[in-house]
Amino acid sequence: KAGVTQTPRYLIKTRGQQVTLSCSPISGHRSVSWYQQTPGQGLQFLFEYFSETQRNKGNFPGRFSGRQFSNSRSEMNVSTLELGDSALYLCASSLLGQGSDQPQHFGDGTRLSIL
Amino acid sequence: AQSVTQLDSQVPVFEEAPVELRCNYSSSVSVYLFWYVQYPNQGLQLLLKYLSGSTLVKGINGFEAEFNKSQTSFHLRKPSVHISDTAEYFCAVRPTGNQFYFGTGTSLTVIP
């Protein structure tokens, strides 16, 4: 069974631009969560989508948004990029939503660098 | 909100020596507990999980962890480490019906 696939793996943008990251979950998984990982901060939860609906949201500004499609694939968008948005963005999928005991399965991430 | 504390940001240990990576969490409500490992330029892989039952859980690569409800801890142990265990380790807590909360990670370096 294929794992969680994130594209692209690496991305370089400049301040003020916007970016879209993509995540394809494991087949059959309906929940997709997004995290921002930076040195010293660990993983910061961005949001979770389940069956095309956002179910949970972390403490990030409105510049960070996402959506989920009917095939469970998810995209994350960041507008008006800032230097502080440089990070590894991780996507994780699970069979059921975050309220369950199911573990999350992670992709290899998209490393976003802002110049 | 839940908080997860990994007490050691860096742990150096000699090859074949035992290691313990510590994890404490804030909430006393019912929780699910996980340890993940991250190798360079990769995502997180599940090492082990505690959902219920026996407080000692065994995972992959010879790792085990013990759930201590009274101390709200979930420490990770391995009796003899290998060079290949060098990685970042994350403790995660999920209060039932809620989202995942991750610690800031412990960087384990195995010294030959």
pLDDT, tens digit (0-9, with 9 covering 90-100), for A9-18 = 999 999 999 9
Among B46, B90, B103, beta carbon nearest to A103 = B46
pLDDT tens profile B15-61: 999 999 999 999 767 889 999 999 988 889 999 999 888 889 999 99
| Angle (CA) B55 B61 B66, round 5° | 15
Distances in whole angstroms, Cα of residue A4 to Cα of each of A33, A44, A73, B38, B62: 11, 19, 10, 15, 25
Of B90, B99, B104, the CB nearest to A56: B99
Predicted confidence at residue B28, as pLDDT, reads 65
Q: Does B60 touch chain A (CB under 8 A)?
A: no
pLDDT in tens, B56-91: 999 999 999 999 989 999 999 999 999 999 999 999
Structure tokens at B48: 């082990």
**A60 and chain B in contact, CB less than 8 A:** no
Query: Residues with Cβ < 8 Å from A102, sequence gap 6 or more?
Result: A31, A94, A95, A96
| Per-residue pLDDT, B33 | 93
pLDDT at A56 over 90: no
User: CA–CA separation, B100 vs B89, rounded Å?
Assistant: 15
Question: What is the SS3 assignment for A39?
Answer: coil
Q: Do A103 and B34 touch (CB under 8 A)?
A: yes
Residue A46: predicted pLDDT: 95
Tell me the nearest-neighbour CA distance from B9 into chain A, angstroms. 9
The verdict on A45 touching B (C-beta cutoff 8 Å) is: yes
Amino acid A99: pLDDT = 63
Nearest Cα residue to A89 out of A98, A104, A77: A77
Cβ distance B100 to A104 less than 8 Å, yes or no, reads: yes
Residue of B nearest to A57 (CA): B99
Q: Which residues contact B100 (CB under 8 A, 6 or more apart)?
A: A33, A45, A98, A104, B34, B92, B93, B94
User: Token pair for residue A86?
Assistant: 């440089």
- Check pLDDT > 70 for residue B7: yes
pLDDT band, very low/low/confident/very high, at A97 (cuts 50, 70, 90): low
